[in-house]
Amino acid sequence: MKRAIAIRNAHPRLRASRAAVTRVITVLDSHADQFLGGCPAGELSLVFLTDSALAKIHADFMDDASATDVITFEGEPTVGLAGEICVSADTALTYAKAKQRKFADELTLYLVHGWLHLAGYDDLQPAKKRRMRAAEKRAMALLKNKEALPAFRLS
C-alpha cells in the first residue's frame, strides 16, 4: 500500500531524515498482514513533540496533564485519513538513558507503538498488552532486518 505520510517535527532539537521516517511506515505497511492487517488506508500524520507539548495534548484530549510517550488518534478512513501518531522525543531520550537503550531505537518504537494502535492493538489489559509488546518486538526486528531504523538525534 502506498500512502501519504505527513511529518511534522515540532521538537526544536530533533533531527531526522524525512525519508527515513517515511521508510519506517512504508516497511510496516508492506508487512501489514503480520500485524492484524495493519494501519488503515489513508493519510497518516506523524508529529514529533516536546514533553510539554504532548502533555498539553494529553490534558486537552484525555483529561490527564502528565507527560506521556505516544498519543494516537484514529482517523476517518472513509475520508482518507488513517490517523495521527504524536510522540515525545524528550520522553524517548529520558527512557532510553534510564534503560540504557539507543535513543533512535526508542523513538522508532514509539512510532511502531502508534502504528500498532491504529492497526487494532491495545495495551490497557494485561493479555492485550502482552500481545502488543510481542507485535512491537516483531516490528522492531523487521525494521532492523530491513535496515529501516532512522538515525534520530537531538542536537
Per-residue model confidence as pLDDT tens digits over 49-81: 999 999 999 999 999 998 899 999 999 988 999
Q: Is the pLDDT of residue 1 over 90?
A: no
Mean pLDDT of the chain: 96
Q: Is the pLDDT of residue 2 over 80?
A: yes
Residue 153 pLDDT class (50, 70, 90 cuts): very high
Query: In this predicted structure, what is the pLDDT of residue 131?
Result: 97
73-112 pLDDT, tens digit each: 999 988 999 999 999 999 999 999 999 999 999 999 999 9
State whether the Cα torsion 44-82-137-31 is positive or negative: negative
Query: In this predicted structure, what is the pLDDT of residue 27?
Result: 98
Q: Catalogue all structural domains in the chain, each as residue range(s) with its CATH number.
A: 5-154 (3.40.390.30)
Query: In this predicted structure, what is the pLDDT of residue 145?
Result: 98
Query: In this predicted structure, what is the pLDDT of residue 88?
Result: 98
